[in-house]
Amino acid sequence: MNGLTCLVLLALSMVTVDATIHTMCFNYFLHKDGCVNGAAGSQYRCGAKAKYQSSPVPAFGLPPKPKKGQHPLPQGPHHKVPGRQGPGYHNVPGRQGNHHNVPGRHGQPGHHPKQGHHPQNQGHHTKPPLERRYDTHIDIPKMNTGHGICGYYDTNKVDGVCLWSGPEQTNPTFESAGWLNSRKDSNCRKQVYIQRRNDPKTVHYVPVLDGCSFHAITEEQGCFEIGVTRSLAAKLAIFPNETTPHSNFLYGGFTWDFNNPTGSQSSAGPV
């Protein structure tokens, strides 16, 4: 009888493992590319290849990239977002649970090849230590202190990021989690790396602290984006209008990914 019970429990545990509910972003990249960067399971994990959107996202007034030697100009009223409803992002409307909505100011549309480098990188033969994974398409918002999906954090004292919380901000479900949401927090506290695009010297390794909507309703719009605490923003800032007390964004484009590229840090692998 005991032996039969053990067999039943073993079978149930195997079913539970196989029935893991993956996030929308995990499934998006798995279906699009046949693999997911940094996944804990070797059957899902990609090799060292870059990931890009297969289709562009709409433009929402992202300023043009500054020329060499110039700084990006402040965006004035575009940075003021009315109606804050909680402690997450700065003046952020329409919050779902512990998720924070961030103004959806997407970058200039354009095709991004699945593999290889962006056009501006052609001709460069050196590869940074961390190969590009997810390139952001909107200005990077700064997080406010509060109780997030993964627990309480002080934005001025802790380095960390938030990832897309999915399209459903009112009645979230396990299936509607972008990278995470209040119902599915499996990716909480997992380590990611983030750096300024094409500048590996700026890399930082930090935990996932919260989820943000970015006003995104599709995987193409949300899965690539990231937000940062003010503590981390201070370390990544390079432009004058990123360091003022009332600055709520970082500019110029960033690259990030879960810090498990070879499977050696499975605890950082996304689900």
Is the pTM here over 0.85, yes or no? no
**What tokens appear for 40 in the block?**
């804990």
Q: What is the CA radius of gyration of the chain?
A: 19
Q: Which residues contact 54 (CB under 8 A, 6 or more apart)?
A: 32, 112, 114, 220
Element (H, E) at 41: none
Pairing between β-strand 199-212 and β-strand 140-143 as defined by DSSP bridges: unpaired
DSSP string, 130-150: S---EE--B-EEEEPSEEETT
| pLDDT tens-digit profile, the chain (271 residues) | 555 555 555 555 444 444 689 999 999 999 999 999 999 999 999 984 455 544 433 322 333 344 444 444 333 333 333 333 333 433 333 334 344 434 333 333 232 323 322 323 333 334 344 444 799 999 999 999 999 999 999 999 999 999 999 999 999 999 999 999 999 999 999 999 999 999 999 999 999 999 999 999 999 999 999 999 999 999 999 999 999 888 999 999 999 999 999 999 999 999 9
